[in-house]
Structure 1
Amino acid sequence: MRTLAVGDIHGCATAFDKLLETIHLRPEDKLITLGDYIDKGPNSKEVLERLLYLYDNHQLIPLKGNHELMMLDAYQGQPHEKVWVTVGGKATLASYTDTDKDNPLSNIPDEHWKFVKQHCLDWYETDNHIFVHANLNPDLPLQKQSNHDLFWQKLYPREGHYSGKIVVCGHTSQKDGCPVNMGHQICIDTWACGQGWLTCFDVETGEVWQTNQKGEVKTSHIKDFSPLSIN
């Protein structure tokens, strides 16, 4: 069984489909997606549909990102919707059939709302790793982490989590397309929605697969990436 982590997808269904094809996902694999499935890229609807399929047919463990939080906030009222639209929600809404122009949120099917609200977790923990969207306070247990740290805090050099477990995160986009390896913390948001790559990381073997919206593929190892640079 492999434990595979995937960074921020941001509506890049072409890169995500190519990544799934490249890693040859097996029934026994555990696939952990780190949030920010929507916004910015052109195909948020298709990404959520792929995730729903994986949730029903594979061992998918989906986390929420800050963009899913903003999407859920938008569902609660108009002021939140305006904020979400300005930071990428416009692209998400455009990926759905425009049947109700007065209430575009209603074009998003109930199963997509349910997936984001009920199935996406705040964090996930294994024997050796902690998976979060953004970051962690190194001195607090997971149950006491703030929403700011879990969903919004950018990556910066800090001590490892007191548990001694390696933290795997996304959120802080690496414009050079390279993961950040700090040893105790690894960031795999590699700017799929820009000019970078979508990254999948095997947390046990260290293998790294990357794909992009052009359908290109490259492979490497987490040890290939310096622990010193944060972009």
Structure 2
Amino acid sequence: MITSRTLVIGDIHAGLKALEQVMHKAGVSQSDRLIFLGDYVDGWSTAVETVDFLIELEQTHNCLFLRGNHDELCSNWLLTGEDNPMWLQHGGVSSVRSYKKADTSTIEKHIRFYNALINYHKDSDNRLYLHAGFTNVKGVEHEYFPKTFYWDRTLWELALSLNPSLQEDHEHFPKRLLHYNEIFIGHTPVTRIGKITPQKAANVWNMDTGAAFLGPLSIMDVHSKEIWQSDPVHTFYPGEKGRN
């Protein structure tokens, strides 16, 4: 009997070779639901190939693609051609080099992919998926600034700062965390706190295991919490710096 799983995938940052490896390790099949948390580009040299892979994957698998801040930055550059020095310093250079080799039809196809990305998703079990976070105490439906969904770091900082003994029924438990059974994010690498596996704080799971730097790429089964990881992504791209 084939059992359907919901698999959540952390920030890829153009690490296609690592994505292929970790999907193989997880035994990904067409019966699985795949939820990608964003940041598909800006890191390693295979940005175009990574997005091509995801577009093709969507034709055969049940995929949901969330918007990351790097995806918006790259899309803006493709649309306007305007240089963004901050973006270039944080992985944009590798994407520019990759897209310089792409033809017009590929770029147009990728722009459609970026435009179709969604800011957040809530499933039937009241799990929330988004790239970064939100700030409104009433939940994502009441967020004033949509860019918060893929730029915010305060949600993860808040979850990390909580005393583990503080229970959800405590009057001081953060109200914005109470709306969802679990929250899955990326955006802020857990390597910043000395970890290389997905980390949970309060009811927030951080899936960014540092694929853009020296860490692996991770997949988690949201029900069983089983985790699969690639080799450190930089080992697939010798001689490259990624975002290091």
Equivalent runs, 1:43-192 vs 2, <5 Å? 43-79=46-82, 81-98=84-101, 109-118=107-116, 120-126=117-123, 127-137=125-135, 139-145=137-143, 146-154=145-153, 155-158=156-159, 159=174, 161-175=177-191, 176-192=195-211
Maintained 8 Å contact 1:170/1:189: yes
Residue number among 206, 212, 218 corresponding to 1:193 in the alignment: 212
C-alpha spacing 1:35/1:190, structure 2 compared with 1 (3 Å) = same
Q: Percent identical across equivalent pairs?
A: 24
Q: What's the CA shift string for 1:169-226, capped at 9, x where partnerless?
A: 00001223122211410001011121111010111001011103347xxxxxxxxxxx
* Equivalent residues, number: 209
**Partner Cα separation in structure 2 for residue 123 and residue 157 of structure 1:** 19
Q: Structure 2 stretches of 5 or more lacking a match?
A: 160-173, 237-244
Q: Which amino acid aligns with 2:80?
A: G
Residue number among 191, 198, 204 corresponding to 2:223 in the alignment: 204
RMSD: 2.1
Partner of 1:95, secondary structure, is helix
Partner of 1:168, secondary structure, is strand
Q: TM-score, normalised by structure 2?
A: 0.78
Maintained 8 Å contact 1:73/1:81: no
Maintained 8 Å contact 1:96/1:108: no
**Partner Cα separation in structure 1 for residue 96 and residue 206 of structure 2:** 28
Q: Structure 1 stretches of 5 or more lacking a match?
A: 101-105, 216-231
Q: Which amino acid aligns with 1:109?
A: I
C-alpha spacing 1:27/1:137, structure 2 compared with 1 (3 Å) = same
> For the pair shown, which has the larger CA radius of gyration, 1 or 2?
2
